Amino acid sequence: MSNIFWFFIVALISHEVYSDTIFCQKCKNEECEADTVSATTCNGADVNTSYIDINAAYKQNYSAPGNVTSFDCIYINTTFVLTNNDTENFTYKGCVEYGFNVKAVQPNPLYITQENRSIFEACGDSMCNNFPPTPPPKVLNCYICEDQTSCQLENLKSAPCSETNVARNYNLLSKHYKIYFPPTGSTDYECLSINSTLTGDNSSKLVLKGCIQSGFDACDLKFSPDWYNKEVKDSCKICSRDLCNRNSTSSIKFPTLFFFFGIGVLMP
């Protein structure tokens, strides 16, 4: 009997040796901005909670692993663009299983059209997710319309700038102008509003509002001589604040007035 007793003791000790428990900060969204963020000793229940919260944010249905004995800390700070063009921030700290694949977590395209991922990291040391969240990247919103009728609506549509929106506007501009498409990958955008009349073999009225890459001078484009021989640009505006492109008129330039004051000295 004594041999069996010592066998169970050794088995219990071996289980503790191979268990890899760590401590991680645990919070969600506004909780992560507090001066003091709670921490937890990771266990299977914490991993299940993380999967529930991640699934809710990413609109997914990932299955949590069972019988987890080794853990990582996780830190997520990201912004989603939903299919209705609303934006949604998600900040999260917690526990996941050891070796958690952060790249495998992707938003459900049925509900989320774009993700601007600032931080998504898993690390294996205790409290390694203990650092302040980086503010999510600024997403510029611009009014969007593609013709005179839609651009005159009182309730103009708007959308957050993205590569997709920029590419659509460049395609529309390329039908009238000789332009060079800038490289993709930039997340620095500006709003554009242009109202122009082009005459020639294919006369047309160009009225457009939308997103362009920052630094792209859409107001100084040259029309294609194959299609047009003259352009009257009624207005064109490029700006970098949210929804700043409702009115296409550029800033008004007033004439500068100079006043000269003379000082006379009377001599006796």
- Closest CA relative to residue 211, chosen from 196, 237, 189: 189
Residues 160 and 195 in one domain: yes
Residue type, 33: E
Alpha helices in 41-191 (DSSP H): 44-58, 148-151, 163-174
Position 184 scores a pLDDT of 59
Write the pLDDT tens digit of every residue in 87-96: 999 999 999 9
The CA distance from 73 to 179, in Å, is 48
- Closest CA relative to residue 52, chosen from 109, 95, 110: 95
Structural domain includes residue 44? yes
Residues 152 and 202 in one domain: yes
Structural domain includes residue 265? no
Residues 110 and 159 in one domain: no
Structural domain includes residue 252? no
Write the pLDDT tens digit of every residue in 230-242: 999 899 999 999 9
Structural domain includes residue 133? no
Total structural domains in the chain?
2
The CA distance from 248 to 143, in Å, is 11
Task: Give the structural domain span for 209.
Answer: 141-239
Determine the average pLDDT of the residues in 151-176: 89
